[in-house]
Every structure is written in C-alpha cells, then in structure tokens.
Chains A and B, each alone.
Chain A
Amino acid sequence: MTRTSRRPGTTTASVVGVVAAGVPLAVLAVFFVLPVGGMLARGFVDDGTFDPGGVLQVLTRPRVHRVLAFTVLSAGSATVLAVLLGVPAAYVLSRLRFPGVRLLRAVVVVPFVLPTVVVGVAFRQLFAASGPLGGLGLDGTPVAIVLALVFFNIAVVVRTVGAQWDGLDPRREEAAAALGARPAQVWWTVTLPALRPAIVSAASVVFLFCATAFGVVLTLGGLRYATVETEIYLLTTTFLDLQAAAALSLLQILAVVALLLLAHRARATEVALARVDRPRRRPRPRDAWAFVVLGLVLALVVAPVATLVARSLRTADGWGFDHYRALAAGPTEGGSNALRVPVTTAVENSLRIAVDATVVAVVLGLLVVLVTTRPRPAGRRAARWARALDGIFMLPLGVSAVTLGFGFLVTLDRPPLDLRSSGMLVPIAQAMVALPLVVRVLSPVLGSIDDRQRQAAATLGAGPLRVLRDVDLALVWRPLLAAAGFAFAVSLGEFGATSFLSRADRPTLPVVIFQLISRPGVDNAAMATAAAVVLGALIVTVMALVELMPRRGRIA
C-alpha cells in the first residue's frame, strides 16, 4: 500500500501523531527535564559564575572512578544473570500450561514491589553469619548485592519476554522443525531472533534499574561498596556538594544515552510477525531444564520472602498474627504509636495513588508507543525522530531519584508551575518511573505487528483511527494489561520519590513500612515486615486479577 492511496487520512494521521507525541513530551519536560535541569544548573553555577571546569574536575577523582566501575560491574552482572534465569522462566510461564502457572506468574512479580529497605534487611538476615545461609559467607560481599538486584528485577525479564513469547506465531517454529531443524536450531534461528527485541528491551531496563538501585545497595553494600546512585545521595543530602552530584547525574544521563544506542543496534533486526493467539501446551520431558531454571528463580524469590513472612509471624511467645492485628489497629487502639494512621488507610492511599499513576503511565506510554512504532513511509528522518522519542522516555529510569526529588523542590516552586504541594505530584512522579516500563513492554509487541495487517484493514475501507482500534489496540490488549500491571506494581512499591513528595497525613504503605523500620523496638521492626507482607499480598492479588482477564481474542 502506498502513501498516495491513503492520502485522505494522512493529514488527520499526522495531526494525531503530533498531538500523541506532544502530550507525553510536555509532561516529560515539566516533570523530568525541568527538575533535573534545575539541579544540574545549580551544580554548574558556582557562586554566580558558570563553571563547567569544576564539574569536569569531579570526574577525575579516583573515588568517582571506583564508584563508576562498581556500578557498571554490579549492574552488568545482575543483568546477565537476570536474563539467563528470566528467559527460561518466561518460557515455562508463558508457553506452557500446568496447574498453578497463573499463581507462579503473579508470585514472580512480588519482589518488584517490595520496599528495598525491608528486602535489604531480609537479605542481611539470610546471609548474616548467624542467619540460615550464613555459612555461605556472603554477608557484605558484592555477590549478595548482585543476588538482591536479580531478585528485584527478574520480574522485568519474565514479564517483558513472556508478553512477546505469548503472542509469537508458532507456525514458523513448526515449519522449521518440519524441515528437519533440531530443537536447538529452531531456538537459535527462529525463536531467539523473534524474541530478541523483547530480551534487549528487558535487559536495558534491568541494567538501568540496577545501576540506579539505591536502598538495597546502601543496606547490603555497607560502607565499602558505593554506586553512582548512593554517591549522589550522599553528596546531595550529607555534603550538599551539588557540583559533584551534578557531575555524577550527568554521567548517568550519558550512560543512558550510550545504553540506548547499543540497545538500538542490538534490536535493529526486528522480525515482522503476524501475532496470533494460540493455546498453551502441556510440558514435555524436554522442558525439564527450563523447569530447573524456574525452580532456581523461585528459590531466589521465595527465600527472602519466606524470611520476611517468618519474622512477621514470630511473636514474643511463639507464633501468631499479633503484628498484623497491631497494624490494623492504628495509633489510637493499642497499635504502635509509630503509626500515624491505621495500615488500612495507608493501603487505601497506596491503591488510590497507584490507580492514578497507572492511568497516567499507560495513557502516556500508549501514545508514545503508537507514535514510535507506526511505520513511517516518509523516510529515514521520521524514523530517526521516532527512535529518539522512544529513547527520551527511557531517561527517567537512568537518572537519580534524589536529583529528581530535589529538582522538584527547587523548580516547581512558583506559578504557573507551583506544584510542590499538589497531591497529583506523587502519582505523576511514580508515572514517570513506570512510563519507561510501559513503553518497553508495549514497544516490541506493537513494533513487531506486520504492517500488512494495517494495510489490509485500510484496503477494506477502515480509516486511520479504525485501523488503530481494530489492529493495533486489539493486538496489544494483553500486553497492555501486563504493562498496566507493571505500572501499578511500580507505583505500589515506589519509595524514593514518594517519601520525598507525599504528605505526612497521607502516607503510602512503603512510607509506613519505612517509618516502622526506623523506630526502636523489636515490635516495630516486626510490624514493618508484616506490612511488607501485606504489600506483597496486595500485588499478588492485583497480578492474579490481571491473569484472570481474558486472553486476547483471535483476529478474523
């Protein structure tokens, strides 16, 4: 189908395209570029004079080199490990049918939302010399940090790759097998190339998450191991050395850009796929190895969670639900006075904010993806713009939450952008974190839709919006659910920006957990773990609901 034949719709389509790209860009400009730019500017301007030399000087400090090397090394190994474990797990969880598979799919996502501070303490309890795995001698080592990073991020790989795998047309693989290819050959020549966009997407997100991980590195790394992110935190909150913090933030931005360029090259050979729905099949004996990997993943996910659950149930005289009851009681009816509100109120706050954040992230994410993945007959320049747009929305993942949080305070402080005390700031900040994930989950799926499906619809008389609805949205329905679930999970678990911006009388669950865990008293610590278990249960429920949604209908 050529451009000429669609001329009547072209003008509308490009107007829609500009609006679709403009809205998310405007939001990103106000809630990301402006605050981060504001903090960078404060670093570059020293005593009223522009002093870029001072910032560059920081980059020559030996400590900065050590910090940078450790960041790349730890995030890199965690990413590799997460992909090696996550891809087979995604295979089992999205291609096979066996009892309990839906529950397992929900369970794998739990770590993603647990507050890092609590998980940090759970990992330390596991690995401390006196803990159940103390014999491994991992307490305070980089290995413990990497394992914790994998623990948090394995869900990204399982979900992103799973969403792609779920809709792959099996006929290509079947055809290859029928032509005599061995299973390994089918994997290397057919399946892997088709999955590659999703794997690269997931790996780049995981790397950025690991590179900007904060609470868990601080807890497990102690004082010996610092990453760029923990260093920015120390420089900003303890030393008020904005120049050095700006230098490191700049480094993060450059790293994101470099990573995106690399990821783009690796994704370059996307395969056009006709996405079809198909029943999941029963496991065969040769799937055994994938189940072994899934077992490892579950062990990694379950061990720290089990530590948490056990601690939350242990009372002074045995076992019981005392800490959960204390949580629900709140400050006035015999609960801990460390709580300002009963935990039910915090749960309600969390859910409300998460719904808002999810809506914002999904709507913006969908707009971005629709713009970036629509085929552009106009030529290379448009394609390059689309790619740049796609990359820009990854930036929030790679830039320090501390820089962003302080940036909010110093830039969104006067009309027309006097937003510091607005209640919408929390969901919007969370949506900024979730948006890249939504884009990464949807982008490979929409990008791999065979454009001939759209062309066929257009030939049959469908206008551009009708094509959008009946081809793009119909095919993306299930990944969209996955993305929404992810955004919801991110919002429920988000702590950094939330603790910075949320109002004390409307705490979210992670904020309450942090308050409890920083107070003296064994009971408060145990209540914090109980609240973390509640948070985990909440996300399993939400994810299970997503699982129960009908799978996408077959397109006639």
Chain B
Amino acid sequence: MRAEVHHQSVPSDQHRSSQQRPRGPRRRAGLALAAAVSLLATACSAGGGGDSQDAEDTVVLVTHSSFNVPDEVLDAFTDQHGYTVEVQAAGDAGELANRLVLTRNSPLGDVVFGIDNTFASRVVDEGVLADYTPATLPAGAEEHVLPDATAAGQLTPVDRGDVCVNIDDGWFADNDVPPPATLEDLTKPAYRDLFVTPGAATSSPGMAFLLATISHFGEEDWQDYWRELIANGAKLTSGWTDAYTVDFTAGGGDGDRPIVLSYASSPPFTIPEDGEEPTTSALLDTCFRQVEYAGVIAGAANPEGAQALVDFFVGGEFQAALPESMYVFPVSDEVELPEAWSRFAEVADTPHDLLPALIDQQRDTWLKEWNEVVTR
C-alpha cells in the first residue's frame, strides 16, 4: 500500500516541478523527498516480530503503567525458568482491577501485578484470580497477607509504600513557622493556605489520603475534618504530578505551598546535589499504607509460568530492584535498601489502614460524600 501511494504521486510531481520550477525549490523538494523516502524506508510495520512466540514460552504480565523493573531482572527470570515475560502495562491500580474484571471471560494474560489493598476485594470477589501463593514467603511479607481467607490464597504481597503528607523543611525554617506533624495540625490557622493534595476521585494517592482520614477520624467524623481542611484553604488538584511539581514549594516548580500529599519515599529525591540531607520530610503520623499484590489470573494460558513469576516477585532479585525502579519498599526484610532510603525514607510505625473488604464496600459512597464536601 505504501509503495503504491509513493509511486503514484511523487514522481509525477517531481516531473512537473522540473519543468516549471527554478533550481532552488527543486533542490529543496529533492531534499524533502529524500527525507520522506528514508523515513518510509526505515519505518516498518510495528506489528512485525515478537508476536509469534508460543504461549508455553511466554508469561504475559498484566500490570499498571507504573510497573518498571530493569531488563536484567526480567532476563534473570528467563534464565532461571525459560519463560519470556511480556509486559502489558496500562492505567493505574483501579483501572487495572477494572480491566481484569471486564475481561475475566477471556483473560488478558497469565499474571497480574499491582492490585493494591484498596482494590483487592473487588478482584477476589469477581473471581478473576486462581488460587495460588508461593510455598514460602520472605521474612516480613507475612504481615501484609490479606485477612480474608480467599484473598490470602490468591494474592501475594510484593511491595508496600506509604502515602504521607510531606513538608518543605527549608520553607518552615526560613519563615520561622513550627512545622506541622499531625492530620489535625493541617486545619490550624498557622497552616492556612499551605496544603495541597490530589483529589480522591482522580488520584490513587489522593484516595489513600482520604482513607487515612477516614481511618483516623472514623466513619462518623471524617466529613467534618474535610470541611475544616477546605475551610483552612487546602488546595485540591486532579493528580499527584501537578500538586507536587506545580504547587509544592520544593517540587521544582516554584510553587507556593510547603505542605503536599506525597509518599514516604519522596524525601530521598530532594537531596540537593551539593548536600547530604533531603530538604523535605514525610509526616509519619499521616500515612496510609498501600500494599501491592500479585496473583495468577484464572484461565491463564500458561499457569506454570505464571506461578513461577509470582514466586520470582517475592524472591531476592526482584525485591531488591523495587526501591530504585518503582519507588516502593520491598515486603521482604531480607534485602538491603539503597543507602539514601535506609537513611531518609522513613516508614511509619503505625500507618492508618482499613479492612480491604470495608474499602471495597464503601468506596463509592465515600467518594460521593467526599465530592459533596469538597465541591460545595
């Protein structure tokens, strides 16, 4: 098809222009044609290659768009088990869960990674997953196993990350304001117009923060807290990116708010090149713990490969790669953290949490109530 279009139109036009046009434009036209031809020549169908592998050699991993590990790690899996991993990554954790639910009659792949504790109940209840967990879990992973028995038999904890309020320490020192420490502090007059957070309806860290407040203040009183928060000038954005990079004072965008909702793992990224310590810190009393799970998809074309990959996820190699490539903590206590992490990425001792089943049951109601409070 391409060659046809090419031959049909281009040479005839060149012919015309050689009759009518002076030298300059012709040379330019020749240049343009040469460039276009080389572009066409180098480009080939994106469909070529890679699609013809047999299901027995390949494990298809369905995950969210934040999934990211070095190729060496996945190559190591191929070396050990003989399977190639094909990654299909799109959307966030919620979109991932819903994609799986919608396609449960013809699965998208063999393994899912990235179902978190807020969406775990939905995929388990919808029968998306097959029963499988590794025979042994690394030390430290046990405490993240889901409480529900069915869920515990299908979802294996792989990593965890705390969503916490972060502050710009430099700003508080410069302005001689004592830094806040708790969720309650954020509603005090001293911190008026200083807080920015992504909204719960459009952002998964935003949702985690809403869950932290529900966990802390209880199902009766969280709405009052949010009313006070909004009245105290809290700003809501649609996503984490613009809250952190536009509105936050230490996010590189010259923002004007020194308190932002982010992650416990954010501070190590604010160590200046000529400094030793980060310029921001996480408030550990404000954290909600997100745990990410992996599982074998029911009806997987390659169940053996899928099980091997789930085992690999809790193995030392994959666990050790998590902090640097996905900015989350491994569930395993057995692997060593990068130096900046062990020094500056602190973990809350008692993060806020809620039962996954309760979250799944109440999510829509809470979101609608929250929407009412914040858009009033």
- Which residues of A come within 8 Å of B, CB atoms? 42, 117, 120-121, 124-125, 128-131, 218-219, 221-224, 234, 236-240, 311, 316-317, 331-332, 337-338, 340, 349, 351-356, 359, 362-363, 406, 409-410, 413-414, 420-424, 426-427, 469, 473, 477, 480, 499-501, 503-506, 511, 514-515, 517-523, 525-526, 545-546, 548-550, 552-554
Contacts and interface: CB of A to CB of B under 8 A. Distances in A.
A236 B98 contact: yes
A71 B2 CA distance: 39
Contact of A504 (B14, B67, B255, B374): B67
Contact of A353 (B46, B364, B371, B375): B46
Given A130-B254, A317-B273, A550-B13, A520 B244 contact: yes
B375 A514 contact: no
A340 B262 CA distance: 23
Interface of B: 1-2, 5, 8-9, 13-14, 16-17, 20-21, 25-26, 28-29, 31-33, 35-36, 39-40, 42-48, 50-51, 60, 63, 65-68, 70-71, 86-92, 94-95, 98-99, 101-103, 106, 108, 122, 199, 201-202, 236-242, 244-247, 251-256, 262-263, 265-266, 269-270, 272-273, 324-325, 327, 364, 367, 371, 374-375
A410 B102 CA distance: 7
Interface centre among A222, A332, A553 (most CB of B within 10 A): A222
Interface centre among B67, B242, B367 (most CB of A within 10 A): B242
A402 to B, nearest CB: 9
B50 A423 contact: yes
Contact of B241 (A340, A420, A469, A518): A518
Given A363-B5, A423-B48, A525-B252, A352 B269 contact: no
In the A-B complex, the 6 residue pairs with the closest CB atoms? A553-B16, A522-B252, A423-B47, A504-B87, A355-B43, A548-B32
B118 to A, nearest CB: 11
Given A238-B367, A316-B273, A515-B66, 16 more contacts: A128-B246, A128-B255, A238-B201, A331-B71, A337-B325, A338-B68, A356-B43, A421-B86, A480-B9, A517-B245, A523-B269, A525-B252, A525-B253, A550-B16, A550-B21, A553-B20
A525 B33 contact: no
A545 B35 contact: yes
B202 to A, nearest CB: 6
Interface centre among A317, A363, A421, A520 (most CB of B within 10 A): A520
Given A473-B8, A525-B252, A553 B238 contact: no
A409 B105 CA distance: 11
Nearest to A427: B46
A423 B98 CA distance: 23
Contacts of A353: 46
A526 B39 contact: no
Contacts of A420: 108
Given A218-B202, A553-B13, A124 B242 contact: yes
A88 B138 CA distance: 68
A423 B103 contact: no
Contact of B242 (A120, A311, A423, A515): A120
Given A351-B39, A421-B51, A522-B251, A121 B241 contact: yes
B340 to A, nearest CB: 12
Given A518-B241, A520-B327, A349 B70 contact: no
B89 A504 contact: yes
B28 A548 contact: yes
Contact of A553 (B17, B36, B199, B236): B17
Contact of B103 (A409, A426, A517, A521): A409
A522 B269 contact: yes
A368 to B, nearest CB: 15
13 contacts: A223-B202, A223-B236, A317-B273, A352-B44, A354-B43, A355-B43, A359-B1, A499-B65, A500-B90, A503-B88, A518-B240, A522-B251, A545-B36
B33 A549 contact: yes
Contacts of A473: 8-9
B47 A422 contact: yes
Given A410-B102, A503-B86, A525-B245, A356 B325 contact: no
Given A125-B253, A553-B17, A237 B239 contact: no
Given A410-B103, A480-B9, A522-B269, A550 B25 contact: yes
B127 to A, nearest CB: 15
Contacts of B371: 223
A222 B2 CA distance: 44
B8 to A, nearest CB: 7
A317 B275 CA distance: 13
B266 A219 contact: no
A550 B241 CA distance: 44
Contact of B31 (A515, A548, A554): A548
B99 A409 contact: yes
A522 B199 CA distance: 21
Interface centre among A236, A501, A522 (most CB of B within 10 A): A522
Contact of A359 (B2, B47, B255): B2
Nearest to A237: B95
B270 to A, nearest CB: 7
A224 B89 CA distance: 30
Nearest to B273: A316
Interface centre among A223, A331, A337, A499 (most CB of B within 10 A): A223
B96 to A, nearest CB: 9
Given A221-B238, A553-B13, A520 B33 contact: no
A506 to B, nearest CB: 7
A240 B98 contact: yes
A393 B42 CA distance: 30
Contacts of B237: 219, 222
Contacts of B272: 316
Contact of B29 (A504, A511, A549): A549
A553 B15 CA distance: 10
B14 A550 contact: yes
A222 to B, nearest CB: 5
B102 A406 contact: yes
A327 B13 CA distance: 40
Contacts of B28: 548
B263 A413 contact: no
B39 A355 contact: yes
B62 to A, nearest CB: 10
Contacts of A520: 244, 262-263, 265-266, 269, 327
Contacts of A406: 99, 102
A522 B269 CA distance: 8
Given A222-B238, A406-B99, A522-B252, A124 B88 contact: no
A525 B269 CA distance: 12
A43 B58 CA distance: 34
B373 to A, nearest CB: 11
B61 to A, nearest CB: 9
A417 to B, nearest CB: 11
A520 B68 CA distance: 14
Contacts of B14: 550
A424 B45 contact: yes
B137 to A, nearest CB: 26
Contacts of A427: 45-46
B2 A549 contact: no
A311 B246 CA distance: 12
Contact of B106 (A218, A237, A316, A413): A413
A369 B13 CA distance: 21
A413 B299 CA distance: 14
Contacts of B42: 351-352
A364 to B, nearest CB: 10
Contacts of A548: 28-29, 31-32
